[in-house]
Amino acid sequence: MSLFARSVSILWALMLFWLSRNNAVAATTVNQLHILVTNSLYGNLNLTVSCNNIDPAHHFLRPVTYHEWIYSGDISRSKPQFLCSFQWQGASHSFNMYDPISELDCKKCHWYIKQDGPCRWYFVSTYRCAKWN
């Protein structure tokens, strides 16, 4: 086998290992994960955020204010710690702010909550918005 083919095989094996590990294992462990949520709703609305799987509190966020959680431990795939509800005048949505696969790029995930969905920077350079669940 050429060196190139061997490198590709090794990469492929690593990728398969990584994929199966992420899909098969029920929980991922994180260390000092920061989850931040900023009220970026237009129209001066207040936002209430609650993530019942991690914290029973309802966080009341005035316009442009934020809340931060710092979490170490397991992220369960069946009962995600950062599956949260977002409520403001006339609206109620839920969203998972930390999925171990889609949030693989962030140790500090900063979500900006807007009417159309939650947004964040991916790999520092790409700003993307998700749809509400």
Considering only 31-39, 43-51, 68-76, 98-106, which stretch makes contact with ligand NAG by CB under 6 A? 43-51
Look at phi and psi of residue 80 and say left if phi exceeds 0, alpha if psi is from -120 to 50, else beta. beta
Using rule CB under 6 A, residue 42 touches ligand NAG: no
CA diameter of the chain: 63
- Smallest gap, in angstroms, from Cβ of residue 16 to ligand NAG? 50
Using rule CB under 6 A, residue 44 touches ligand NAG: yes
Binding mask 80-109 for ligand NAG (x = CB under 6 A): ---------x--------------------
C-alpha torsion angle, residues 71, 128, 102, 84 (rounded to 10):
50
Q: What is the identity of the amino acid at 34? A: H
| In contact, 72 and 31? CB cutoff 8 Å | yes
Which residues form the interface with ligand NAG (CB under 6 A)? 44-46, 62, 89
